[in-house]
Each structure stands twice: as C-alpha cells, then as structure tokens.
Amino acid sequence: MKPSAFEYFTPATVTEAIGLLERYGEEAKVLAGGQSLIPMMNFRVARPKVLVDINQVKDLDYIREEKDELVIGGLTRERAVEVSPLVQKKCPILSEAISYIGHLPIRTRGTMGGSLVHADPTAEIPVVVSALEGKMKVAGPSGERLLGADEFFVTYLTSALDPLEILVEVRIPTLPPNTGWSFMEFNRRYGDFGIVSVAALLFMGDKERCQKASLALGGVGPTPLRTRKAEKLLAGQVITDALIAKAGIQASQETEPESDYHASAEYRRNLARVFTQRSLTEAWNKVKGGK
C-alpha cells in the first residue's frame, strides 16, 4: 500500500521543528530515520497529515562525553553509536545492544531518538538505556524536560513525549571501572526483533562484592522492565553461581509477559530466567577477567 497524502516540511533547527509541531498539533509527526514510521504509514497504521522531517537539523547529530555521561543527539544514527570508539570505550554495552538491531541498512538510517520515542518494548535501545539509567531530554514550546526511563516509557509503543515535543538528546552514565556488563537476546533468526532480551550490569567496587546491579529485560511486558527485586538480591553480595541462579528465578517472577504468535507467556518467562542467568554469568566473568 501507499501512505495517505501528507504535507512535508524540512526544518533546519529545533526551534523551527517545534514551531511546525505547534502549528499542526496532533496532525503532525516527526520523521527521523523512517524505519518504523514509514512502514506504519505504508500500512496506513499511521496517517499523519503533516511530516516534520528533522534530518536537516544537523545540531541533533552528535556523540560526546560530558563529565561522567555520554551525551548523544536525538538524530544520531544507531550505526554511528554502535561503531563510535568513545561509546565502545566508555559504554560498550550500548554498542553491543545496538549491534542486535535488524540489519546494517536499518541501523544506518534508524536513530537513537526514533527508537526511544517508538517505545517498542522488544527494541534493544530502550532496554539498554533503562539498564544504564539514561535520561531523555525533550524540548517543546514550554522548554526542556529530562525524563528517566521509568517516566519516559509508558506502555506498548507509547512514550511520555507530548505531541509538540522533540527528543533532542539522550544522556547515559559511562560505566565506572570494575563494571561487568552483558547484553543478550533470544530470537529465531539474526536480525529479528528479540523475543526476550536482557541487559545486565554488575557494579563491583572491590571486585568481590557487588555494590549495585542493574537488570533490564525486553519482551516481557509493555515497557522495558527493570527487575528490581532481583537487583536487590545481588546488591552487597559476593557473586556466586547459586546467587546468579536465584536472581534469574526472581527476575522471571517479576516479568509480565503476554502470549503472542512468537511465544507464549510461559516460554517468555522461562527465557527471562535463562537469559538473566546467562547474562549475569557473562557480566561476572568480564569483571573477573579484568575486561
């Protein structure tokens, strides 16, 4: 099918883009990489009357380090983040997670902002940004707001972004020394959306005792899910295989999966347990190996 008719604008600045959103309100949609929006328009699931194409807003395309944070512009391509030496050094789990997204042409067009605003609970970027406790900076007619993942992801394909706002930046804490990390997902074929994914972080102060753990799961609920009780089990403890096994069981009990044609809820819950255990083991091995 072809999309229904729309007007098309190419603003050059954020202010201009917000002005267009103000003028056309809910009839307008921001277009970034187009890798989710255009298929939805072609299937007429989305029928915006106005497209505000932000690809000419060059100020939204950057990756830099500020104090202990990576700061990434909303229009930065997924592939640019994946191959960035700065990201690979300061936050390698982000590069790793992005490498699971679709195929190279999709990552080359798709953007950080687009993936986050699209808010698919099986998408890799929302899951890893949740685990990393990243913050989304959004700008609209009344100024800027900074939203954490818990606030930003509302439910399936729904973020807390107001229709007049643009996601301008993502701020992600860099990993401190002695942090074990792992991103894993289960899918049927390379490039498919994950059925279940897990981002695991073990912040090890002295390499023996875990100071803090962060676990975010995708595909097991309406938003990326932090399994906070499982995280609490790990915090302050010496990591052992038995503790990892317990944390995996706890994490799976915290999930709220639904059955669909890809997998039953029960199967997803089981994958959550297995992949939490595997990713925690990998994260722990990375710290032990001094990587």
Ligand X SMILES: Cc1cc2nc3c(=O)[nH]c(=O)nc-3n(C[C@H](O)[C@H](O)[C@H](O)COP(=O)(O)OP(=O)(O)OC[C@H]3O[C@@H](n4cnc5c(N)ncnc54)[C@H](O)[C@@H]3O)c2cc1C
Among 39, 141, 148, 205, which residue interacts with ligand X (rule: CB under 6 A)? 39
- Written as six digits, the tokens of 226 are 């932090």
CB of 139 to ligand X, least distance (A): 9
CB of 143 to ligand X, least distance (A): 15
CB of 91 to ligand X, least distance (A): 17
225 touches ligand X by CB under 6 A: no
Q: Which residue has the tokens 């074929």?
A: 189
Give the Cα separation of 13 and 163 in Å (integer).
17
Among 20, 32, 204, 287, which residue interacts with ligand X (rule: CB under 6 A)? 32
Among 9, 11, 18, 33, which residue interacts with ligand X (rule: CB under 6 A)? 33
Give the Cα separation of 120 and 113 in Å (integer).
12
216 touches ligand X by CB under 6 A: no
Length of the chain: 291
CB 82 within 8 A of CB 107: yes
CB 76 within 8 A of CB 111: yes
Give the Cα separation of 174 and 84 in Å (integer).
14
Cα three-residue angle 117-122-124, rounded to 5 degrees: 70
- CB closer to ligand X, 164 vs 202: 164
35 touches ligand X by CB under 6 A: yes
- Residues 77-116 as x/- pattern, contact with ligand X by CB under 6 A: ------------------------xx---x--xxx-xxx-
Q: Give residues 130-159 in contact with ligand X (rule: CB under 6 A).
A: none
36 touches ligand X by CB under 6 A: yes
b/e sequence 18-29, b meaning 16+ C-beta within 10 Å: bbbbeebeeebb
- CB closer to ligand X, 34 vs 246: 34
CA-to-CA separations, 169 to 74, 119, 278, in angstroms, rounded = 5, 15, 32
Among 18, 63, 72, 117, which residue interacts with ligand X (rule: CB under 6 A)? 117
Question: Strands of 69-73's sheet, edge to edge?
Answer: 63-66, 69-73, 166-173, 135-140, 143-148
- Written as six digits, the tokens of 114 are 């687009």
Among residues 257, 121, 287, 105, which one has the least CA distance to residue 194? 121
CB of 39 to ligand X, least distance (A): 6
Among 96, 124, 169, 231, which residue interacts with ligand X (rule: CB under 6 A)? 124
- CB closer to ligand X, 117 vs 247: 117
10 backbone φψ class: left, alpha, beta (φ>0; ψ -120 to 50):
beta
214 touches ligand X by CB under 6 A: no
- CB closer to ligand X, 110 vs 248: 110
- CB closer to ligand X, 64 vs 89: 64
Residue ranges that bind ligand X, judged by CB under 6 A: 29-37, 39, 74, 101-102, 106, 109-111, 113-115, 117-118, 123-125, 161, 166-167, 193
